[in-house]
Every structure is written in structure tokens, then in C-alpha cells.
A and B are shown apart, each in its own frame.
Chain A
Amino acid sequence: EAGVAQSPRYKIIEKRQSVAFWCNPISGHATLYWYQQILGQGPKLLIQFQNNGVVDDSQLPKDRFSAERLKGVDSTLKIQPAKLEDSAVYLCASSRSNYNEQFFGPGTRLTVL
């Protein structure tokens, strides 16, 4: 069974630029999560989708971050405009349903200069 796929793996941008990350969950997993992990901290949930609906986006900075999951499979997370403090690893995870174990993709390391 293929794992969670993410791209790109690394991205370097300047502040005020925009960036987008892509995630493809494990086949059959209805729930998809985006996390932000800052160095030295645990992952922090940004947004959770159940199929193509948003379950929780309470910690998503909506003035600059947006995410979508069209057709209930792939998902894209966008930051526009980026700030220095957005430098982090962005992790995508998926689970079979809203109450199961979550499995992480390899992550995208973002550096904002």
C-alpha cells in the first residue's frame, strides 16, 4: 500500500511570495490533515478534511493560508503572502475515518527568506 505522497519536498521563497503544497493521501483514506511543524515542536494541526468537507480549521491563519480538497482525494495548501515565521515543515496525514490512526507523508520543508 502506497503511503501519503507530498510535493515538493523542499521549497525556498522570499517573504511576501506565495507557495503551494500538494498532498495525495493513502488510497481509501477519507480524512486528510495538514500540520505545521516548527523546529523543536510537535506538529500543530492546521486543517482537517473529511472527504471534501472541512472538519476543523480553527488553527489555520485564514488571512494568509488556504486549503482545498477537491473531489475528496488530493489536497492543496497555499500560503499567500508568506512570512518569515511560516518557515517550517508542512506535513500531510491521512486516516481511514475521523477516528482512526493517522499516517504522515514525508513533509515539505519551507524556508522563507
Chain B
Amino acid sequence: QKEVEQNSGPLSVPEGAIASLNCTYSDRVSQSFFWYRQYSGKSPELIMSIYSNGDKEDGRFTAQLNKASQYVSLLIRDSQPSDSATYLCAVNTGGGNKLTFGTGTQLKVEL
């Protein structure tokens, strides 16, 4: 079982729709969870961090965390073509701040 799992996609959504990206992790002691956006040929850009159960909203982005189910998700409301990118889920593992990344989900927002 991989430490951090994501569906590789591509996930296609129409412009203006809600995109839902999911991630599961295996380390029960993980405390920090991050979503990074990576455009093709660019480096990862941090868009959301979440540390406690529940929802955290920032503009059009909402991160959701359920530690009991070892599940974290990212919702993007009013999706725009500029949101088309690969979204990486990262989870701290093994204590400290070592991040383990998933393979990423490719999101395509279609006009």
C-alpha cells in the first residue's frame, strides 16, 4: 500500500463546476496535510494546508480532513481553465516535517 494515494486522472470538469480531488494516506500519526498545484514544467506551489479535522476554506478552495478515515480532499469551486494543473497531496510521515507526496491528480477544466 502506498503511503499517499491519489487518483492520477485526468479529472475533467466544465468551467464553473466544482472539482473534487481526493487523497488517502496510511500513516495514522500524520498531523499535517498540504495541497500543492503544479503546472506543467513548473515547480509545486502551495495552495492549502490543513491540520485539524473538518473544513478549511480559502477563496475558491476548500480543504477537508478526516483523520479517522485517513482521508483529505480539495474542492475547487467555480473552476476556471487556469485551474488546469496537477494537484499534489502531501502528508507528513514518520514524525517531523518529512513530506510524502502522492503522484498527483491531473485536473482539466474545459470551456
Q: Which residues of A contact B (CB under 8 A)?
A: 31, 33, 40-45, 48, 55-56, 89, 91, 95, 97-107
Q: Is the CB of B44 within 8 A of A91?
A: yes
Q: For this complex, into which size category does the number of interface residues on chain B fall?
A: 20 to 34
A45 touches B46 (CB 8 A): no
CB pair B104–A42 under 8 Å, yes or no, is: yes
B residues with CB within 8 A of A:
4, 32, 34, 36, 42-46, 49, 88, 90, 96-104
Nearest CB of chain B from residue A84's CB, rounded to whole Å: 21
Residue of A nearest to B94 (CB): A56
CB neighbours (8 Å) of A48 from chain B are 96-98
User: Which residue on B lies nearest to A31, using beta carbons?
Assistant: B97
Q: Are B97 and A43 in contact (CB under 8 A)?
A: no
Supply 10 further A-B pairs (C-beta < 8 A) apart from A45-B99, A91-B43, A97-B97.
A33-B99, A42-B4, A42-B88, A42-B103, A43-B101, A48-B97, A98-B97, A102-B97, A104-B36, A107-B43
Q: How far is the CA of A56 from the CA of B32 in the complex (A)?
A: 18
Task: Answer whether A101 and B44 are a contact pair too, CB < 8 Å, given A41-B103, A45-B98, A55-B96.
Answer: no
Are B99 and A102 within 8 A (Cβ)?
yes
Contact with B97, one of A42, A99, A107 (Cβ below 8 angstroms): A99
29 A-B residue pairs with Cβ-Cβ distance under 8 Å, sorted by A, are A31-B97, A33-B99, A41-B103, A42-B4, A42-B103, A42-B104, A43-B44, A43-B99, A44-B101, A45-B98, A45-B99, A45-B100, A55-B96, A56-B98, A89-B43, A91-B44, A97-B97, A98-B96, A99-B97, A100-B97, A101-B34, A102-B34, A102-B99, A103-B46, A104-B36, A104-B43, A104-B44, A104-B46, A105-B43
